[in-house]
Amino acid sequence: MENKEKIFLTDEEKTGKPRDLFFIWFAANMGILGIVYGALIIGYGLSFTQSILIAILGPLSFLLVGYASLAGRDTGAITFILSRAAYGFKGNHIPALIGWAGQVGWLSVNVSTGTLTLLALFSAFGISTNNLLILISLVIFAGLIVASSLFSHETLVSIQTFFTYVFGALTLLVILMLIPETDWNSLFAMSSGPWLTGFFPALAFVIVGTGLTWTNASADYSRFQKRSNKSSAIIGNVTFGAFIPLFVIISTGILLATAAPELANAENPILLISEILPEWMTIIYLFAALGGLTPMCFIGLKSSRLIMSTFNLAIKESTAITIHAVIITLIPLYVLIVSKDFLGYFEAFLGILGIGLAAWVSIFMVDYIFLRRKQGYDPKLLEDVRYNSINIGGVVSWIAGVIVGLIFTIFINSSFDMLVTFIISGGLYYITNVHRNKQQLQEGEKCQKNNT
């Protein structure tokens, strides 16, 4: 696996600039799937003002990614290696497995969307969709993503920058063509929906689909940043690199939902959007959609492989890539041919993922803010399984938060499940680890004073 024996990058290897993170996260979030987000937001029965507010607040969840990126800059280590400090070497396997499943799940969603886009492209040339064509499209797109495993970090930054300029411009052109299709009278006539049962569930949906999902990859790319790079520059470039495309594309989906109300339930939403556009724009739109999806998949595959490396499995890199290739082929194959319910799978996946990630990121952030930011990461916490096998406080805090979150979801049917999970896990970890650590330091200082 990549850097299996080497946990920290040296200062000589940390040559990145904050603007590199802007391009990485901009390119990773300009996928056309954001338009479907906008349509789904309208489906919660919200007004135009409420929907736009979600399009603002949801992507701002990348502030979490930006702040968590500081741990990568400080150490030069990947996210789930740093997570060992809070959970222990073996205890970290539990949240890391959730993080890996989340990345692979997202990768499968994006490969499914890329396959749908290729099918729409074939349809534009008069080729009808059938199961064989679905299989061919899936193999083509998944094969392209698997080939990206050969990219170095420098190559990845260059590619993300290229996609940001070229396909970002094409996506903007498509959006400008879609806006005139908006039924403005219907849009402003929509009445406000309930805040507790409409607004907050929709906001939680967007947060999980944007910033929260990517927190488990935050340090994977910021670890190449120079130690001298300002914290504000890193947080700002990460946050706004993701916010700008997400806000624009989700807002377009909100506007477009009036022209195509069936968009939120379409079997192939990509094809439906192409049918709304003028005929001469269809090919440009589909290429822009492919260009927006591809970089998302590139960093998704890289991050999932990095998370897998933290399990210390005795497997070759080629085997790890093969495992990912099989998964991101079989899941879309089932979704597109057997179930034929892409959006249903997508929503269910986000619902399950959100609680586990909310618990993990809360503990990770509390650990970094109150302990590691000042004390640093002791290499023994991350490298020595005998020294830091399981941090009971971290593992119990994560499990407790997840259980409470599931209770809120299943039995109470509350939209505050992730918020409660975040508070419970972070609060318990502060009590069991941060507060105890501070008491131990104070006792140690007293002993030193008494000895002197």
pLDDT recorded at residue 1 = 40
Which has more confidence, 366 or 170? 366
For the segment 368-378, the average pLDDT, to the nearest whole number, is 92
Tell me: pLDDT of 55 over 80. yes
**Which of 52-61, 305-314, 368-377 ranks highest by mean pLDDT?**
52-61
Q: What average pLDDT is seen over the chain?
A: 86
CA distance 294 to 276: 23
Tell me: pLDDT of 17 over 60. yes
pLDDT recorded at residue 3 = 40
Cα 327–25–138 angle (5° rounding)?
Answer: 30
Which has more confidence, 419 or 266? 419
pLDDT recorded at residue 347 = 64
pLDDT recorded at residue 444 = 46
Q: What percent of the chain has pLDDT over 90?
A: 47
CA distance 171 to 116: 17
Q: What is the pLDDT of residues 91-103, one digit of tens each?
A: 999 899 988 988 8
Q: What percent of the chain has pLDDT over 70?
A: 92
What are the Cα distances from residue 337, in Å, to 127, 282, 341, 342? Answer: 17, 25, 9, 10
For the segment 189-202, the average pLDDT, to the nearest whole number, is 90
pLDDT band at 4 (very low <50, low <70, confident <90, very high): very low
Which has more confidence, 4 or 402? 402
Tell me: pLDDT of 345 over 70. no
Which has more confidence, 54 or 312? 54
In this structure, what token pair is assigned to residue 325?
């290739």
pLDDT recorded at residue 148 = 86
- The lowest-confidence range among 1-10, 39-48, 356-365, 413-422 is 1-10
For the segment 392-417, the average pLDDT, to the nearest whole number, is 91
pLDDT band at 76 (very low <50, low <70, confident <90, very high): very high
Q: What is the pLDDT of residues 282-331, one digit of tens each?
A: 888 888 888 888 888 888 898 899 999 888 887 888 899 999 999 999 98
pLDDT recorded at residue 371 = 93
**Which of 92-96, 123-127, 393-397 ranks highest by mean pLDDT?**
393-397
Residues in the chain: 452
pLDDT recorded at residue 136 = 94
pLDDT recorded at residue 276 = 75
Q: What is the pLDDT of residues 145-178, one digit of tens each?
A: 998 888 887 888 888 888 888 877 887 887 787 7
pTM value? 0.87
Q: What is the pLDDT of residues 222-243, one digit of tens each?
A: 999 999 999 999 999 999 999 9
pLDDT recorded at residue 346 = 63
pLDDT recorded at residue 441 = 53
Tell me: pLDDT of 343 over 70. no
pLDDT recorded at residue 272 = 81
Tell me: pLDDT of 16 over 90. yes
CA distance 384 to 378: 10
